[in-house]
Structure formats: C-alpha cells, structure tokens
Amino acid sequence: MPSAPPSPPPRDVFVWDATLLTGLDDVDAAHHHLVDLFNALNRALFQGPGSGMSDQAQQAVFDELMAYARQHFEEEEQLMRDAGLDERHRRLHERLHREFVEQVRSMWDTRGQLRDPAETLMGFLTAWLGLHIMGVDQSMARQLALMRAGVPASEAYAREEQHPDRGMANLLRMVGQLYHVLAERNRDLERANATLEQRVRERTAALEAANRRLEAFSRIDGLLGIANRGYFDERLREEIARHARQGRPLALVMFDVDHFKRYNDRYGHQAGDACLQAVARALQAQFYREPDLLARYGGEELVALLADTDADGARLVAERAVAAVRALGMPHEDSPTAPVVTVSAGVASRTPTSSADGACLLHLADEALYAAKRAGRDRVVVAAATDSP
C-alpha cells in the first residue's frame, strides 16, 4: 500500500514587501532579517509529525530570534539617541522593546499551559511585529526625516502626534491574513470529519479564544504580572472621563524602588527581577478595590490608580504600601537609605474637569515622588497642588 504523500511545508505568515520599508537602510535590513527569523520559527512550530524537529531545535530557532531582536533593539535605541530624537518617543519606543522581550519570553516559557501554543504565540508575534515595523518604526523614520530637513526634535514629535496612522490599515490587513492562514490550515485538517457549519463554529471559537489571550497578554507586564503602561494609559483616560462626569476625585500614587541600580549591581539582574516581583506583590495587596489598578510604569517605577479617592485617602493607602515593602525585609546592603529594600511614593489627587487632567495628575505625582526622594526616600509625599477633601 503506497504511503501518504508528505504534508506541504507551513506557509510563511509574514511576507516582506515594500510597504514595510522605513527608508532607513540599516533598520530595513534588520527588519527583513527579523521577518526571516519569524517565519523560521513559524515553520519550526508547525512542522508535521515525523519531521524530526525536536524541542531542542525549536528552542534554538526561538533563541536565535530573541538574540537578534535584542541586538536590533539596542541598535535602534542607539540610533535614536545619536540623532537626538525627542525623549518622549524614545521612552515609548524603548518601553515597547522591553515589554516585547519580557512578554514573548513569558509566553514561550508557559506555552505548555496554552491550549493552542503555536497559534497563540505566532499570532502575538505577528501582531507585534506589524506594530513595530508599521507603527513605531515608521513614526521614528518620519521624525528623523523631519529633523534632517532642519525641524527641531520637539516639533517633529508634535507633528507626528497629529500624523494619521497610515500603518494601522496595513496592520489590520496583516493580522487578518495571519488568521486566514491558520483557519485554512485547520480546515484542511478537519475536512474529512466535520461539516461546514461545525468547522465555522470551531474556527470562530478558536479565533475568539486567541483574541482573548492576545488581549490579556497585551495588557499584562510579562515580568511583574500586573498591568503594563499601555493598559494603565487606557484606564487613566477612562477614569478621568468618568470622574469628570461624576465630579469625584481621582488619585494617583507613583512608586519607585529606592537605589534599585545599586541593588542590581550588588545582587545581579536575576535577583533584581525577583525583587521587583516581590515589591509588586506587596503593593498589589494594598490595592484591592475593584476599580483600583496597579501598573508597571517603566523600569522600577510603578503607579497606582485610585478611584473616588481624595489626597488624604491616597496618602493613607500609599503609607501602608510603603510600609508593606519595608516589612518584606529584603536585604539591600548597598542602600544608603535602609538595610532593606524600600520604596518612595508621590501622591496626587484632583477632581478632573477635562482630558488634560490625566497628564496633570501624572506630573503632580511624579513631582511628589521626586520630592520624597530628595527628602530621604522610604516615605510618602503629597503634591502641593493636590485637591483638598
């Protein structure tokens, strides 16, 4: 009896073409190589039975992709610094790089717990790669072009803020093509035993589940397991609008781990990650109301959003949180503040009247945080311009 013909190789889910070009030769070459590595990982994950692709071989492909992504990120960040790109864009760009590494590593390490690990991981990677190339990198390239024409960095950034997002249509088209490839693959596997109606129901359910998983991953900081900066920004806008309608106070508390660089230098980055995770858990325990939110703001900075809370109420919660971190008793021998890990906190509260109050609250809380640091750290300072109860 003749053997069945071999299964066709998996299709590339990301195709390099002219729509992905930024006009920056080194950046475009790096993106092209990322796409090649991305498709190599897709082929490794979707190889059929008997292909000989071992777990170790899949791991090697993944490690190569991650190593090159880190190299590309470092080169891009150096390019932005050398060019003098506006700091606001650089901070956003660097945060997206950092979150990508953390989130993808977390998804890869826990893929055994996912129902469809290959489809979920590749769906996330494809969506992110589209956002990276068609979104923030195109924005970077446009700003650099303006600066080469003599436009100051701050003005180039302001113009870009008003620039219509032409990459979004391409991003949506790309994600749609990804799901089309995955759905076609599922249809081929199920055609012999399933009716058309059943196949449609199964594909729809799988797509909805993948979307839910992708949405969850897009909101969570991969290292700390709390909300990330993007989700915090979204919630802040929503809460500003809601509290403005209701005429109720909204509070922010900014936290920063004291002398964290010294901690990393003394104990190593792995211990530094564990320290941040322990601090996040201690802080999270203090923000237990349903509307409240604790998020990673960047690096060792965290921020808490407290609904319907005036300055005095936010100060009390912040003081409990600072005490909770101190009570962990994590040794910090190189800290001039205390022999254990501590945090400083800045509090701001106001009753919003417009969408601009979100930026105002962040500024006030940030100023209060730095006042707490100047006053000796391991303490809470309330912003002077904060609303009174």
Among 226, 229, 208, smallest CA distance to 276 is for 226
Distance CA 181, CA 124 (A): 14
Distance CA 381, CA 377 (A): 10
Contacts of residue 18, Cβ cutoff 8 Å, sequence gap at least 6: none
Which pLDDT score is estimated for 241?
A: 94
Task: Supply φ then ψ for residue 362, to 5 degrees.
Answer: -60, -40
Does 3.40.640.10 match the CATH number of domain 18-219? no
Report if pTM > 0.85.
no
Edge-to-edge strands, sheet with 250-257: 293-298, 301-306, 250-257, 343-350, 380-382
Start-end ranges of CATH 1.20.120.50 in the chain?
18-219
Start-end ranges of CATH 3.30.70.270 in the chain?
229-382
Distance CA 224, CA 114 (A): 19
Contacts of residue 244, Cβ cutoff 8 Å, sequence gap at least 6: 351, 352, 353, 354, 357
Among 356, 365, 366, 359, smallest CA distance to 386 is for 365
Distance of CA 329 to the CA centre of its chain: 29
**Residue 223, amino acid:** L
Q: pLDDT digit of tens for each residue in the chain (389 aa)?
A: 455 555 555 666 677 878 788 889 999 899 999 889 888 888 888 764 445 567 888 889 899 999 998 999 999 999 999 999 999 999 988 988 888 888 788 778 877 766 677 777 777 777 777 777 777 888 899 899 999 999 999 999 888 777 645 544 454 444 444 434 434 443 443 443 445 556 556 666 666 665 555 555 567 888 888 888 888 998 999 999 999 999 999 999 999 999 999 999 999 999 999 999 999 999 999 998 888 999 999 889 999 999 999 999 999 999 999 999 999 999 999 999 999 999 999 999 999 998 889 999 999 999 999 999 999 999 999 998 655 44
Distance CA 346, CA 294 (A): 14
Helical packing angle, 55-83 and 25-45, nearest 10°: 160
Contact between residue 179 and residue 122 where contact means Cβ atoms under 8 Å apart: no
Which pLDDT score is estimated for 288?
A: 83
Ordered alpha helix ranges (H), the chain: 25-45, 55-83, 87-109, 117-130, 137-148, 153-161, 167-190, 196-219, 229-246, 260-267, 269-284, 311-327, 357-374
Which pLDDT score is estimated for 180?
A: 43
Domain made up of 229-382: CATH architecture: 2-Layer Sandwich (3.30)
Q: Write out 140-172 in H/E/C secondary structure.
A: HHHHHHHHHCCCCHHHHHHHHHCCCCCHHHHHH
Which pLDDT score is estimated for 201?
A: 66
Residue 382 is classified by DSSP as E
Distance CA 224, CA 295 (A): 9
